[in-house]
Amino acid sequence: MVAHPHQIDVHVGSRVRLRRTLLGYSQEKLGDALGLTFQQVQKYERGANRIGSSRLYELSRILDVPVSFFFDDIPGAPADASPGADGPGPDAHEASQMSRRETMELVRAYYRIDDPTVRKRVFDLVKAIGGTITADLASMIDAAD
């Protein structure tokens, strides 16, 4: 009988992967900082191995996030289960989009823009393009009806 990882372990591991990738750390670099092999980091990120409380604390220091970060946006968790949450976490589709390599590369590139005015303009441009695409899709759907 093969035991499957608990969904919380998988979620915590995915949050480790998200933060590691956003910081541009390899699994090997994170493993070195923790005194582990990259294979052990892989197992944590997949949820195959549970992350103990002391290791989670180490991860929060190395990845420069509060321990609560690893539990943010747990699917199906009530809004009040996550301190400071404004509502329920993202649905599975949105969560998978946030963990895509393309999304993480875009976020890293965005934060490499030193000038806050330029960064804000890029943000506004992306929002405007996204809004245009959404409006175009809506008008195409209305035309098809």
Mean pLDDT, all residues of the chain: 80
pLDDT tens for residues 74-118?
A: 877 655 444 444 444 444 555 556 666 778 788 888 888 889 899
C-alpha span between 131 and 62 (Å, rounded): 37
Q: What is the model's pLDDT at position 102? A: 79
Give yes or no for residue 131 having a pLDDT over 70: yes
Fold of 7-89: 434 Repressor (Amino-terminal Domain) (1.10.260)
More confident: 57 or 81: 57
DSSP state of 71: G
What average pLDDT does range 6-18 have in this prediction? Answer: 92
In this predicted structure, the answer to whether residue 2 has a pLDDT above a threshold of 80 is no
